[in-house]
Amino acid sequence: MSALKLFHAQGGVAEVTSRPAEAETDVQDLVEADLEAMLGVRFPASDRCHCRQPGEGPPGGGR
């Protein structure tokens, strides 16, 4: 399988240089921040992050 190439097309076309992400969260943050531009999808802010730390249990105290 060949690598997927990305291009920036503003005032000309240039290939985007890839770089490794330091952490998966870097990629997740980038995608979530640009969902509308990349995929034409927009979510309400309340649906975008259900952030809980490990050990916090289910949302709503399990009710």
What would the pLDDT profile of 13-61 be if each residue is shown by its tens digit?
999 888 777 788 888 888 888 888 888 887 776 655 556 666 666 656 5
Q: What are phi and psi of 33, to 5 degrees?
A: -70, -25
DSSP one-letter code for 41: -
* DSSP reduced 3-state for 47: helix
To the nearest 5 percent, what fractions of the chain are helix, strand and coil? 35, 10, 55
Predicted confidence at residue 12, as pLDDT, reads 92
Q: What is the pLDDT at residue 23?
A: 82
pLDDT at position 1 over 50: no
